Chains A and B, each alone.
Chain A
Amino acid sequence: MSFETKSKAERIFFREAIARAVSEEMIRDDRLVLIGQDVGAFGGSYKEFVGLFDRFGPSRVRDTPVAEASMVGLGVGLAAAGMRAIVSVTYMDFLMLGLDPLVNYAAKARFKTAGQITAPLVVKTTSGARGQGVAHSQCIEAWLMAVPGLRVVSPSNPADAYGLMKSAIRSDGPVLYIDHKRLFPIAGELSDQSDAVPIGVAKTSRHGQHVTITAHSYMVRVALEAAERLAATGISSEVIDLRSLSPLDIDAIVKSVARTGALVTLEEGQLTCGIGAEIAYQVRERIDGVRIARVGAKAAPVSSNPILESACLPDAVRLLESVKDVLNTR
């Protein structure tokens, strides 16, 4: 008799990882509801909620008008009143309208009431550029990292989308879950042993010796592409997938940089007060003499013109040139 369990891996689309996580958690906890634009019969703007409306019905999977402040406000109210809510805001740009209930109420509820009221709320949104112009392309993750009481997670692959969504749903405080438009075409392995991915734990996506590259979401793929090309020139890069932006797994980053001696941060958003600025300073507080560079978008709005869009955004070439500069090998 054997007690060994063999894990079985299945390849699924990024969107299916989200639907699976939400569906399993809705079965697990009947207080959980999903609200947002097109989350119902349409199945989500990226088809990431397909099947949920049929399975759980309109009382738990509910379409809303285009009114982000009210949607997030409703979600916070539901959560504070003892339900658990996922609010889907299709484009992160329009989360700006919902920041008051998210920042001033959800993130503060536990502090204001000495723990009597919590807000177990997930705001799920999609960032990043893909041909949609100035107000449908922004990555404002860094703004939200500066809100005490709010956790921010951002997966780069289907398994992490599944695992981080599960952790976000089970969290007792508000969590901002951010995916990226360019992640939806990808597929990846999900094991039947897959489970919640703890919030606040980074993952080393590639091991290396000469430089540490940090990234999250779609930029992890850009970092891995640059690392592959750098390897051909004899430069060995370690790529850290942050997975959680708040809390930031600074220990994992410091451990890697202490070994490589060089750090290049990569983000699709702006560099000013950005994720890279935060990581760079925190690393510098802990280790002396580290060579550091930041790579991010140019300080310009993202155009819907594809040539101007790609001129603004960081890519593998800009990253690898920055790595070579830091290592003085250009």
Chain B
Amino acid sequence: MIYALTVPTGIEDVEDVRVLEWAKQIGDEFGKGDLLVELETHKALVEIRAGRPAVLRKILCGAGSWQAVGKPLAILSDDTTESLPDSAFDLPGLAVDFEVS
């Protein structure tokens, strides 16, 4: 199955975020609880951790680029052979945990 990693809704008082750093590279498999990406808001850092295992397939927003809340940052899949769609906008979201510091 193919998923999108989106900027989580529910970070208080935030419209846009900036990608600070990816903790995984394309092709990396990750498990539940692994740090995927760090985001920067106007006043805080947000660590996004995987809510289930998957593979990082495509990064849509590299370090330094911006994305709006609810919009996709990357495409993920259950295994590396699944072919990717052109657009990430209709994909189901991958469950994540996030921590604001």
Residues of A within 8 A of B (CB): 11, 13-15, 46-47, 184-187
Residues of B within 8 A of A (CB): 13-16, 18, 41-43, 66
**Residue in A14, A15, A185 whose beta carbon sits within 8 Å of that of B13 in the complex:** A185
Minimum CB–CB distance for A76 against chain B, Å: 30
CA distance A47 to B44 in the complex (A): 9
> In the complex, given contacts A46-B43, A47-B42, A186-B16, what are 10 additional A-B residue pairs having Cβ atoms less than 8 angstroms apart?
A11-B66, A13-B42, A46-B42, A47-B43, A185-B13, A185-B16, A186-B42, A187-B15, A187-B16, A187-B18
CA distance A13 to B45 in the complex (A): 14
A contact residues around B18 at 8 Å (CB): 11, 13, 187
Minimum CB–CB distance for A161 against chain B, Å: 13
Closest to A47 in B: B43
CA distance A185 to B16 in the complex (A): 8
Closest to A46 in B: B43
Minimum CB–CB distance for A11 against chain B, Å: 5
Minimum CB–CB distance for B8 against chain A, Å: 15
Ranked nearest first, the 3 interchain pairs of A and B with the lowest CB-CB distance are A13-B42, A187-B16, A185-B42
Closest to A186 in B: B15
CA distance A185 to B14 in the complex (A): 6
**Residue in B13, B43, B66 whose beta carbon sits within 8 Å of that of A187 in the complex:** B66
A contact residues around B15 at 8 Å (CB): 185-187
Minimum CB–CB distance for B74 against chain A, Å: 19
A contact residues around B41 at 8 Å (CB): 185
B contact residues around A14 at 8 Å (CB): 42
Closest to A187 in B: B16
B contact residues around A184 at 8 Å (CB): 42-43
The residue among A11, A14, A15 with the most chain B CB atoms within 10 A of its own CB is: A11
Minimum CB–CB distance for B23 against chain A, Å: 22
Minimum CB–CB distance for A192 against chain B, Å: 15
A contact residues around B66 at 8 Å (CB): 11, 187
A contact residues around B13 at 8 Å (CB): 185
CA distance A324 to B43 in the complex (A): 39
CA distance A184 to B16 in the complex (A): 11
Minimum CB–CB distance for A308 against chain B, Å: 19
Question: 27 A-B Cβ contacts within 8 A?
Answer: A11-B18, A11-B66, A13-B18, A13-B42, A14-B42, A15-B42, A15-B43, A46-B42, A46-B43, A47-B42, A47-B43, A184-B42, A184-B43, A185-B13, A185-B14, A185-B15, A185-B16, A185-B41, A185-B42, A186-B15, A186-B16, A186-B42, A187-B15, A187-B16, A187-B18, A187-B42, A187-B66
